[in-house]
RNA sequence: GCCCAGGUGGCGGAAUUGGUAGACGCGCUAGUUUGAGGGGCUAGUCGGGUAAAACCGGUGCAGGUUCGAUUCCUGUCCUGGGCACCA
């Protein structure tokens, strides 16, 4: 085809065209196929917020490149998409704009599906899920009952943020800074009976499982380990003279026990009342507690360490000394025993507290080699050697910890204990827009689970969303009033809904049988597809979502419903697209670049190509308007180059694309096959797509240069092979233009169902290769020689190079360092 | 404060095992095609130096190991992220 007859590249025409054709051919719909290796690829479930920007496009394109690549490499690729649709923003929108959360969510999802289709990602849309649809949350409820049956769901009193003015419960993020987000009133802590899952039962398994996840980023695993916060120590008791009860404390530093100069207890410690009753300090303690009580735990942690003497003393179990008991704001009741042995000399917090209240500081651990050491201006918190510790003097900290523990255990006043920072998962939300918890409260039978055949417990459409008066469901009599499944008498439904993290803890299994109404998923499908091979998502979900999903999966594994016991084999955290001003992309900063406006202007292939080229997938980079224009330019060049030779390409490739045009063809083939090798290894391993795009560009440059210098380029098998290769490796990145050009060069089968090109080792070996010549380590020239050339041969060629010879002139050669096929360094003096 | 990741041209970034630093792209400059449009093509583009070369310097900073260091080691500064009374 002559230059003049080449039609213009019009992405706005070809992109929708191919999307329609792929859909008609149902090309992206998949099923189980034992003959092929499976590959389960997933991006984290997006929240149904309504509008996608180029940051989302980057994320989903990354997945699509991996998916299309794997498919061309022969895998059966599961790559589904869905929406996290329950949650607070929908309810907030309802309160603010008067739209119903369901309507708001549905229109958002419709828009997002439209945008995702437009991106050309090869999702199997027959499997799409919406976590707020009854056909989905029915199974979320079913899984809640499974948790209950397995003894992992229970109800207990727990504090919530309560706004006294709005008369409502607030989520933590709505109570930031301790004030209500809507009216600014001081938030109170209120005790409410709520549902929990026993995640702590799985603490050790969640911890241990991390060691078997080599495909996870180390930093995410570290964050999870810290979150679980396992610590081994000893729990032991202090007697209180005159009282029957003892005060129990937990410590990991039993080696410092002889340094105890006070006991610190939380303001809500169970023994507190008993301790202060009738003492002169009672009034002061109550005043102190009143001042601390209305602060949230978070606020307390930011305050100065305060406390008052309770008036009571405890007896040190080893020394028998009297130790004052202080009521403090820095000891929390929800960890350990709510009481701490105060060792100012060897603990930072105790040191601060003791300083402020002029308590004794007793040094009992000294740095190695400094037995006379005494703590003055700062605590000594490292391990060391014991002093002033009776018969334990001279032991190292490590020895002392076990020896003293044995002593306490023998005397029956202590035991080894493991504590976790991880708490049980609070599932209850006093909200409307969530999956109802499937239980009823019966005056006769108490808390009764809704039978499975009565699921789902439907969320009523009509409910008041004023944002006040507690949960909206409390005010829907038709929902609340029901009958007891056991006795048939009148009963009331639970009005709490579930934390949305529950919906997203199992969704990746629902994709396997997204519309099954007999089970959440089929065993057969789970054993074929699970676990997820490759999970892509933001690092902001490092602990919450990823911990909950792991917990769920382990429970399901125990229940025999899934294979293996970790849900995500490889985890990849993608980076963000920043605004063109290098700031985080956000509506308030006004730097959001939308998918629609970008696709209208440049086409999605250009968007995809640019986003993959701009940087490695794990790091942030800024958007660039000129950058995407460059991607369009590149696609235009590919368009013109291919169509200029389309006629020739329609002819079948000549057998054995061997060199027919001497060294130019060999060089071209070298370029083609080294790019195949590079791209294949990159996508499969590091996923540094930016270097793949760069390889594609280089290949394009090579082919253009070849075409420019050979009138009959399309007669060369090497050139034809190069063009085909260009399209094949471009296909995962820019699927529409690759498909269009593939068709225009006479192919009938979709390029996305073609086999990924294999590289030819023979093409990668060359007759001459460059050798770097250094003198004293400095680059002084390059020579060309055959691979396998001897050191002497290279040396002889090197000294003929003027810039090398000039450096050798008049000097003695002391040494030569020769790296075969690479480099010769001549050391002179 | 503690832990982790990262500092390379005007910009995004390459250099995967120590071996030509700056691939590829953007931007910019000059030329060209010109009926203009964020058009096409050619050449150049780390700094100094030169007619062009040669040559000198250069990967946050200061040292070290090595024939040779963006890469390894020590110290230090800066940026980003996570954790932060968990006893």
Cβ of A491 < 7 Å from strand B?
no
User: Does residue A537 fall inside a structural domain?
Assistant: no
User: Does residue A321 fall inside a structural domain?
Assistant: yes
pLDDT at A712: 81
- Asked if residue A164 and residue A295 are part of one domain, the reply reads no
Q: Which of A419, A445, A480 is the last residue of a domain?
A: A419
- Asked if residue A401 and residue A260 are part of one domain, the reply reads yes
Cβ of A639 < 7 Å from strand B?
no
pLDDT 10s digits, A703-755: 999 998 888 888 888 999 999 999 999 999 999 999 999 999 899 999 999 99
In which element (H, E) is residue A784 found? strand A778-785
pLDDT at A171: 66
Residue A631, nucleotide of least CA–C1' distance: B25
Domain that holds residue A786: 769-828
User: Does residue A99 fall inside a structural domain?
Assistant: no
Question: Which pLDDT band, with edges at 50, 70 and 90, does A654 fall under?
Answer: low
Region A47-60: mean pLDDT is 93
**Stronger pLDDT, A291 or A264, i.e. the higher one:** A264
Distance A329 CA to B1 C1' (A): 21
Cβ of A266 < 7 Å from strand B?
yes
- Asked if residue A487 and residue A405 are part of one domain, the reply reads no
Q: Which of A395, A419, A443 is the last residue of a domain?
A: A419
Residue A13, pLDDT above cutoff 50: yes
Highest mean pLDDT among A276-290, A356-370, A686-700: A686-700
User: Does residue A411 fall inside a structural domain?
Assistant: yes
Q: For residue A258, give the nearest of A195, A323, A164 by alpha carbon.
A: A323
Region A540-544: mean pLDDT is 87
Q: What is the CATH number for A289? A: 3.90.740.10
DSSP A177: G
In which element (H, E) is residue A608 found? helix A604-613
Distance (Å, whole) CA A770 – CA A823: 9
DSSP track, A322-386: EEEEEEESS--TTSTTSEEEE-GGG-HHHHHHHHHTT------EE-TT-TT----SS---S--EE
Distance (Å, whole) CA A90 – CA A78: 30
Q: Which two tokens stand for residue A752?
A: 């996305």
Q: What is the CATH number for A473? A: 2.170.220
User: Does residue A288 fall inside a structural domain?
Assistant: yes
Q: Which residues in chain A, range 677-696, keep a C-beta under 7 Å from any nucleic strand B atom?
A: 678, 681-682, 685-686, 688, 690-691, 693-694
Cβ of A805 < 7 Å from strand B?
no
pLDDT at A514: 95
- Asked if residue A342 and residue A314 are part of one domain, the reply reads yes
- Asked if residue A260 and residue A375 are part of one domain, the reply reads yes
**Stronger pLDDT, A420 or A189, i.e. the higher one:** A420
Distance A621 CA to B7 C1' (A): 15
Cβ of A236 < 7 Å from strand B?
no
The average confidence (pLDDT) of chain A is 90
- Asked if residue A235 and residue A363 are part of one domain, the reply reads yes
Distance A121 CA to B79 C1' (A): 35
From residue A732, alpha-carbon distances to A311, A598, A603, A646 in Å are 74, 20, 15, 21
pLDDT at A657: 47
CB A582 within 8 A of CB A624: no
Residue A771, nucleotide of least CA–C1' distance: B20
Q: Which residues in chain A, range 412-431, keep a C-beta under 7 Å from any nucleic strand B atom?
A: 419, 421
- Asked if residue A294 and residue A401 are part of one domain, the reply reads yes
**Stronger pLDDT, A733 or A174, i.e. the higher one:** A733
Q: Which residues in chain A, range 330-349, keep a C-beta under 7 Å from any nucleic strand B atom?
A: 330-333, 335-338, 340-341, 347, 349
pLDDT 10s digits, A293-336: 766 655 666 667 889 999 999 999 999 999 999 999 889 888 89
Residue A235, pLDDT above cutoff 90: yes
pLDDT at A2: 54
**Stronger pLDDT, A121 or A583, i.e. the higher one:** A121
pLDDT at A293: 72
Counting the structural domains of chain A, the total is 3
pLDDT at A195: 94
Q: Which residues are CB-neighbours of A129 under 8 A, at least 6 positions away?
A: A80, A82, A83, A136, A507, A510, A511, A514
User: Does residue A392 fall inside a structural domain?
Assistant: yes
Q: Which of A401, A419, A437 is the last residue of a domain?
A: A419
pLDDT at A173: 59
- Asked if residue A356 and residue A437 are part of one domain, the reply reads no
Region A196-201: mean pLDDT is 94
- Asked if residue A307 and residue A354 are part of one domain, the reply reads yes
Q: What is the CATH number for A823? A: 3.10.20.590
Q: Which residues in chain A, range 434-453, keep a C-beta under 7 Å from any nucleic strand B atom?
A: none
Asked whether the ipTM of the predicted complex exceeds the cut of 0.90, the reply is yes
User: Does residue A595 fall inside a structural domain?
Assistant: no
Would you call A501 helix, strand, or coil by DSSP? Answer: helix
Cβ of A510 < 7 Å from strand B?
no
Distance A57 CA to B58 C1' (A): 38
Q: What percent of chain A has pLDDT above 70?
A: 94
User: Does residue A121 fall inside a structural domain?
Assistant: no
Distance A16 CA to B41 C1' (A): 32
- Asked if residue A435 and residue A389 are part of one domain, the reply reads no
**Stronger pLDDT, A167 or A366, i.e. the higher one:** A366
pLDDT 10s digits, A473-527: 988 999 999 999 999 999 999 999 999 999 999 999 999 999 999 999 999 999 9
pLDDT at A493: 96
pLDDT at A178: 66
Question: Which pLDDT band, with edges at 50, 70 and 90, does A350 fall under?
Answer: very high
pLDDT 10s digits, A113-133: 999 999 999 999 999 999 999
Residue A375, φ and ψ in degrees, nearest 5: -70, 130
- Asked if residue A379 and residue A305 are part of one domain, the reply reads yes
- Residue for token pair 């001497």: A662
DSSP A272: H
Q: Which two tokens stand for residue A328?
A: 């403090």
- Asked if residue A412 and residue A322 are part of one domain, the reply reads yes
- Rg of chain A on CA atoms, in Å: 35
Query: With the C-alpha atoms ordered A186, A192, A196, A201, is the resulting torsion angle positive or negative?
Result: positive
pLDDT at A299: 62
């Amino acid at each position: 085809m002559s230059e003049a007859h080449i039609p213009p590249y019009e992405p706005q025409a070809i992109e929708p065209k191919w999307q329609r054709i792929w859909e008609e051919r149902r090309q992206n719909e998949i099923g189980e196929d034992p003959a092929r290796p499976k590959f389960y690829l997933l991006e984290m479930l997006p929240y149904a917020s309504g509008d996608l920007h180029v940051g989302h496009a980057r994320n989903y394109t990354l997945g699509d490149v991996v998916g299309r690549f794997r498919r061309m490499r022969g895998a059966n690729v599961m790559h589904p998409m869905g929406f996290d649709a329950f949650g607070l923003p929908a309810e907030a929108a309802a309160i603010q704009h008067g739209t119903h959360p369901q309507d708001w969510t549905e229109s958002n999802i419709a828009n997002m599906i439209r945008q995702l289709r437009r991106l050309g990602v090869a999702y199997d849309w027959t499997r799409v899920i919406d976590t707020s649809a009854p056909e989905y949350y029915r199974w979320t409820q079913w899984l809640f009952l499974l948790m209950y049956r397995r003894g992992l769901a229970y109800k207990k009193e727990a504090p919530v943020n309560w706004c006294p003015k709005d008369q409502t419960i607030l989520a933590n993020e709505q109570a930031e800074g301790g004030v209500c987000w809507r009216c600014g009133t001081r938030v109170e802590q209120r005790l409410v009976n709520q549902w929990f899952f026993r995640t702590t039962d799985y603490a050790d398994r969640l911890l241990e499982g991390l060691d078997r996840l080599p495909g996870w980023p180390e930093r995410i695993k570290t964050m999870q380990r810290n979150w679980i916060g396992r610590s081994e120590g000893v729990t032991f008791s202090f007697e209180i003279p005159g009282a029957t009860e003892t005060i129990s404390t937990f410590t990991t530093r039993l080696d410092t026990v002889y340094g105890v100069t006070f006991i610190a207890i939380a303001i809500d410690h169970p023994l507190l009342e008993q301790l202060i009753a009738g003492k002169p300090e009672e009034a002061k303690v109550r005043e102190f507690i009143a001042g601390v009580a209305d602060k949230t735990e978070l606020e307390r942690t930011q305050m100065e360490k305060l406390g008052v003497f309770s008036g009571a003393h405890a007896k040190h179990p080893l020394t028998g000394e009297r130790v004052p008991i202080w009521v403090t704001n820095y000891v929390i009741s929800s960890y350990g025993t709510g009481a701490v042995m105060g060792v100012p000399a060897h603990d930072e917090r105790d040191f601060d507290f003791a300083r402020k209240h002029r308590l004794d500081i007793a040094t009992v651990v000294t740095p190695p080699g400094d037995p006379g050491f005494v703590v003055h201006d700062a605590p000594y918190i490292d391990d060391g050697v014991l002093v002033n510790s009776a018969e334990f003097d001279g032991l190292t900290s490590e020895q002392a910890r076990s020896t003293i523990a044995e002593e306490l255990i023998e005397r029956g006043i202590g035991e080894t204990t493991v504590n976790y920072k991880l708490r049980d998962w609070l599932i209850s939300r006093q909200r409307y827009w969530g999956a109802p918890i499937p239980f009823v409260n019966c005056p006769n039978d108490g808390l009764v689970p809704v039978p499975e055949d009565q699921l789902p417990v439907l969320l009523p459409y009509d409910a008041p969303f004023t944002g006040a008066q507690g949960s909206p469901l409390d005010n829907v009599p038709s929902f609340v009033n029901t009958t007891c499944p056991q006795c048939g008498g009148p009963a009331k439904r639970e009005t709490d809904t579930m934390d949305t993290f529950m919906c997203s803890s199992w969704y990746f299994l629902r994709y396997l049988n997204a519309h099954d109404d007999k089970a959440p998923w089929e065993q057969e499908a789970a054993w074929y597809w699970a676990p997820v091979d490759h999970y892509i998502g933001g690092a902001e979900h490092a602990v919450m979502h990823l911990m909950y999903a792991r917990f769920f999966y382990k429970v399901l594994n125990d229940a025999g419903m899934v294979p293996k016991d970790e849900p995500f084999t490889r985890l990849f955290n993608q980076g963000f697209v920043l605004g063109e001003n290098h700031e985080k992309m956000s509506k308030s900063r006004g730097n959001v670049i939308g998918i629609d406006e970008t696709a209208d202007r440049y086409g999605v292939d250009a968007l995809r190509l640019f986003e993959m080229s701009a940087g490695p997938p794990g790091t942030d980079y800024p958007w660039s308007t000129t950058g995407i224009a460059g991607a369009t330019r590149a696609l235009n060049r590919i368009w013109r180059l291919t169509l200029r030779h389309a006629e020739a390409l329609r002819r079948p490739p000549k057998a054995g694309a061997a060199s027919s045009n001497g060294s130019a063809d060999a060089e071209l083939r070298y370029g083609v096959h080294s790019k195949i090798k590079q791209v294949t290894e990159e996508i499969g391993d590091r996923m540094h797509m930016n270097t793949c795009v760069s390889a594609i560009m280089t290949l394009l440059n090579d082919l253009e240069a070849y075409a420019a210098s050979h009138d009959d380029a399309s007669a060369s098998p090497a050139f034809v092979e190069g063009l085909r290769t260009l399209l094949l490796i471009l296909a995962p990145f820019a699927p529409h233009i690759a498909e269009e050009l593939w068709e225009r060069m006479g192919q009938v089968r979709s390029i996305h169902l073609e086999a990924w090109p294999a590289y030819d080792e023979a093409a990668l070996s060359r007759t001459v290769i460059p050798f770097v010549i250094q003198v004293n380590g400095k680059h002084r020239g390059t020579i060309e020689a055959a691979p396998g050339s001897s050191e002497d041969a290279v040396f002889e060629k090197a000294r003929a190079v003027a810039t090398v010879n000039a450096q050798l002139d008049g000097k003695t050669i002391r040494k030569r360092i020769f790296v075969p096929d690479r480099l010769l360094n001549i050391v002179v003096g």
